[in-house]
Amino acid sequence: MRIPIEWLKDLITFRAGPDQLAKWLTSAGLETVAMPEDVLEVDVLPNRADCWSVRGIAREVSAITKFKVKSSKFKIKESHKRINGTVKVEVRDKDLCPRYMARVIENVKVNESPEWLKKRLELAGIRSINNVVDVTNYLLHELGQPMHAFDATLIKDQSIIVRRANPGEKAVTLDGKGHELGSDILVIADPEKIIAVAGVMGAANTEVSVSTKTVILESAYFDPISIHKTSKQIKTRTESSIRFEHGVDWEIVAEALDRGAALIAELGRGDILKGKVESLGKEKKTKTIELRPERVNTLLGAEIPVGDMTSILGRLGFGIKKVDSRKLKVEIPLFRAMDIEREIDLIEEIARIWGYNRIEAVMPFTAFAGKEKDLGDELRQTVREALVGCGLCEAQTNSMIGPKDLEKSGISNERIVTISNPLTIEMSIMRTHLLPGLLNVLVHNQNRQVEDVFVFEIGKVFKPSKNKLPDESWHLAGVVSGSPFMSRLDKGGVDYFYVKGILENVFRQLKLEFPKVMESSSFWLQPGKGAEIEGVGFFGGLHPDIQRNYELTKPAFVFELDLDALFKLISGEKVYEQLPKYPAISRDISMFIPAELEHQMIVELIRKVGDELVEDIYPFDKYKDSVAYRIVYRDPNKTLTEDEVNKKHQEIVSALTSKLMVRIR
């Protein structure tokens, strides 16, 4: 909806420019853009029927700026001739039309509208027609109340009947289109014909023209659901139908009629007959909602004073009937009856005007008696943070795979869970491993010239069970390929030890000792370049056959762990360790090792010989069959001397050469 700022200033005083005004309205929930020629383009929310008018937007500006909306001042001058007998109104379906009003203006001169009126309508995106029709469009835009003007001489016996259409009854609307109407459509008619499709558009047979002398002006309240159905059935949506189907203000019906008649008489030099005709069904009444200020602040997590709450609601047009320290009685005006139904709706009104940016962002307090923390979620988050710290990116792949994934990866199709009614054949099997999805991620990146890929995923895998539903368990998997180094000069690639280092970091974050590993026979891994953590998972180089099946151009290293099994190893006990008081001394050993010698055997021997003085052992360099280890020495009770360290280091070297048959470089 387009709102000319000059028009808006007729209703409220404000000092902000168009851009600032648009920003304020957007922050309050109405997405607004400042356009050329000082016009605001407002995207009205479906539930905000009150904002389909300049007056409605003025109320919003008032709530934001604290300036008051000006009252509409007008005088209606009636002639001595009474309306009695001039026009008759009969409403046969008061459920669909609970309020219908009409006035008569005689001796009207229909011609062009004055420039100020044409300009305002043009800026609002409305085409000027003549001074009578333009008045109805003007007030529709300013007040949000649609009206229609009839040429009285074209209405049979000046008798207006509001009824449902007869089955198959036809009408030609002002846009020249013919419509065949159903019996559930409300129409305005005279004793012979339809003269308007109620709430949508008038008929061409009573159109106001330059020959019109007497105008019957109608203003009504139609059932929103009925107008919505009518608009859809005849495939016609107008400015009138938009407002009626969202719900107009019951109380504005009479004001719009009087203002419309006064303005038509002024611009067309006509005479308004004394009185008006009204048919009234079940009257709409205001409702009252109880608001608890304490509840407002509890839900919003804010400290909004009660005075500010009442001020905000007052500027929005709500009435405060009773105020005490614990409760407010808030009267809901009829122009907000369509969307304000409960206390929470009032809280939302307070929040959006108070400003969401003024409410501090905090995690909600959700503790209650008997609630326990989900330890699994916390541990998975710890694993996630550890892997991100190692430079990996988290991926989320589909939990459904296809037969091609089984074929390329070598997964057996014996223990799988198939989907009875899959979307596609590529999504017909629940995954038993996470690696197929991550390998597809690697292929996707490779095909786009991304050489270095470091991704992991935490997700569920599915295996058949004796029960109706499959067994689900949490797994962790990762795929790394390329170089972990950012430098263009140092482009060393990932290897077995790089992946092992990642998993060691995960175990360290979980306060677990990295267990002894053994050579793996997993179909995922290249023989001789993979290891298995018993009962938990595997890691190492991807099998060459699988690499060829996925058409990977670079070696890839993978890992997959059963997180549920891994978390069972955590004792839950936290042991405090005091920071060391005395410095550490490190020594390096570089040696040639036999092919069959395991890393774990070397570490265990060094710890056995070094006893309490050895704090840490780790390999830091490898070339063919030569491996370099660093040993960190520290005494918790004193500062070690060079002689003590050298003596112990020599004992370790001697043990390695004599017992494990290594050759020192």
- What digits encode the pLDDT tens for the residues 506-521? 999 998 988 888 888 8
What per-residue confidence (pLDDT) applies to 367?
66
* Whether pLDDT at 478 is above 80: yes
Q: Single out the residue of 521, 523, 529, 534 nearest to residue 556, CA to CA.
A: 529
Contacts with 566 (C-beta within 8 Å, 6 or more apart), sequence order: 476, 510, 512, 536, 537
Residues 417 and 82: their CA atoms lie apart, in Å, by 84
- Please indicate, yes or no, whether residues 354 and 499 belong to a single structural domain of this protein: no
> Is 367 domain-assigned?
no
Return the CA Rg of the chain: 40
β 453-463/393-394 pair status: parallel
> Is 643 domain-assigned?
yes
Domain boundary among 13, 40, 65: 65
Number of domains in the chain: 5
CATH of the domain at 103: 3.50.40.10
- Please indicate, yes or no, whether residues 509 and 649 belong to a single structural domain of this protein: no
For residue 172 the two structure tokens come to 């030609």
Domain that residue 252 falls in? 78-280
- Please indicate, yes or no, whether residues 643 and 597 belong to a single structural domain of this protein: yes
Report in angstroms the alpha-carbon separations of 46 from 124, 243, 422.
20, 11, 37
Q: For residue 597, what pLDDT band results from cuts at 50, 70 and 90?
A: confident
Task: Please name the residue that has the structure tokens 């030569």.
Answer: 626
What per-residue confidence (pLDDT) applies to 318?
94
Q: 69-78, 212-221, 348-357, 497-506: which has the minimum mean pLDDT? A: 69-78
What per-residue confidence (pLDDT) applies to 385?
95
- Helix or strand run (H / E) with residue 79: strand 78-82
What per-residue confidence (pLDDT) applies to 371?
65
- Please indicate, yes or no, whether residues 123 and 189 belong to a single structural domain of this protein: yes
* Whether pLDDT at 489 is above 60: no
> Is 577 domain-assigned?
no
Q: 287-296, 383-392, 563-572: which has the minimum mean pLDDT? A: 563-572
> Is 580 domain-assigned?
no
Q: For residue 19, what pLDDT band results from cuts at 50, 70 and 90?
A: very high
> Is 573 domain-assigned?
no
For residue 385 the two structure tokens come to 């943070």
Secondary structure percentages of the chain, helix, strand, coil, to 5: 35, 25, 40
Quote the Cα angle for 55-258-50, to 5°: 25
What average pLDDT does the segment 286-298 reach? 93
Report in angstroms the alpha-carbon separations of 599 from 591, 596, 605.
12, 10, 10
SS3 label, residue 632? strand
CATH of the domain at 474: 3.30.930.10
> Is 150 domain-assigned?
yes
What per-residue confidence (pLDDT) applies to 490?
61
Residues 362 and 355: their CA atoms lie apart, in Å, by 16
What average pLDDT does the segment 33-50 reach? 91
- Please indicate, yes or no, whether residues 182 and 160 belong to a single structural domain of this protein: yes
Q: 112-116, 177-181, 214-218, 578-582: which has the minimum mean pLDDT? A: 578-582
- Please indicate, yes or no, whether residues 433 and 490 belong to a single structural domain of this protein: yes
What per-residue confidence (pLDDT) applies to 570?
87
Task: Please name the residue that has the structure tokens 């052992």.
Answer: 617
Mean pLDDT of the chain: 91
> Is 425 domain-assigned?
yes
- Please indicate, yes or no, whether residues 225 and 267 belong to a single structural domain of this protein: yes
For residue 269 the two structure tokens come to 């030099």
DSSP string, 313-340: HHHTT-EEEEE-SS-EEEEEPGGGTTT-
Residues 572 and 197: their CA atoms lie apart, in Å, by 74
- Please indicate, yes or no, whether residues 118 and 164 belong to a single structural domain of this protein: yes
- Please indicate, yes or no, whether residues 352 and 435 belong to a single structural domain of this protein: no
Contacts with 407 (C-beta within 8 Å, 6 or more apart), sequence order: 549
Bigger pLDDT: 341 vs 468: 341
For residue 482 the two structure tokens come to 């390329």
Q: 7-11, 217-221, 485-489, 526-530: which has the minimum mean pLDDT? A: 485-489
Residues 600 and 537: their CA atoms lie apart, in Å, by 18
What per-residue confidence (pLDDT) applies to 46?
86
- What digits encode the pLDDT tens for the residues 352-379? 999 988 988 877 666 667 666 678 888 9
- What digits encode the pLDDT tens for the residues 442-465? 999 999 999 899 999 999 999 998
DSSP at 579: P
For residue 586 the two structure tokens come to 């490190």
Residues 298 and 326: their CA atoms lie apart, in Å, by 13
* Whether pLDDT at 215 is above 70: yes
What average pLDDT does the segment 218-242 reach? 95
- Please indicate, yes or no, whether residues 143 and 247 belong to a single structural domain of this protein: yes
Amino acid, res. 489? L
Contacts with 659 (C-beta within 8 Å, 6 or more apart), sequence order: 605
Contacts with 108 (C-beta within 8 Å, 6 or more apart), sequence order: 132, 212, 213, 214, 215, 264, 265, 268, 269, 270
- 151 backbone dihedrals φ, ψ, rounded to 5°: -80, 110
- Please indicate, yes or no, whether residues 274 and 319 belong to a single structural domain of this protein: no
* Whether pLDDT at 491 is above 70: no
* Whether pLDDT at 487 is above 80: no
Contacts with 141 (C-beta within 8 Å, 6 or more apart), sequence order: 53, 54, 121, 124, 126, 239
- What digits encode the pLDDT tens for the residues 556-571? 999 999 999 999 998 7
What average pLDDT does the segment 396-412 reach? 93
What per-residue confidence (pLDDT) applies to 375?
82
- Please indicate, yes or no, whether residues 505 and 627 belong to a single structural domain of this protein: no
Q: Single out the residue of 39, 43, 50, 48 nearest to residue 8, CA to CA.
A: 39
Q: For residue 102, what pLDDT band results from cuts at 50, 70 and 90?
A: very high
Give me the helices (H) in 193-342, please. 224-233, 239-246, 252-268, 293-300, 306-315
> Is 335 domain-assigned?
yes
What average pLDDT does the segment 62-84 reach? 90
Domain boundary among 262, 280, 298: 280
Domain boundary among 239, 259, 280: 280
CB 632 within 8 A of CB 605: no
Report in angstroms the alpha-carbon separations of 573 from 99, 421, 511, 512, 570.
74, 47, 10, 11, 8
Q: Single out the residue of 66, 25, 62 nearest to residue 45, CA to CA.
A: 25
For residue 350 the two structure tokens come to 């307070």
CATH of the domain at 347: 3.30.56.10
CATH of the domain at 622: 3.30.70.380
* Whether pLDDT at 14 is above 60: yes
Residues 399 and 459: their CA atoms lie apart, in Å, by 8
Bigger pLDDT: 474 vs 577: 474
Residues 105 and 652: their CA atoms lie apart, in Å, by 114
* Whether pLDDT at 493 is above 90: no
What average pLDDT does the segment 327-332 reach? 93
As a dihedral over the C-alpha atoms of residue 610, residue 615, residue 620, residue 623, rounded to 10 degrees, the angle is 20
Contacts with 506 (C-beta within 8 Å, 6 or more apart), sequence order: 383, 386, 387, 476
pTM, to two decimals? 0.61
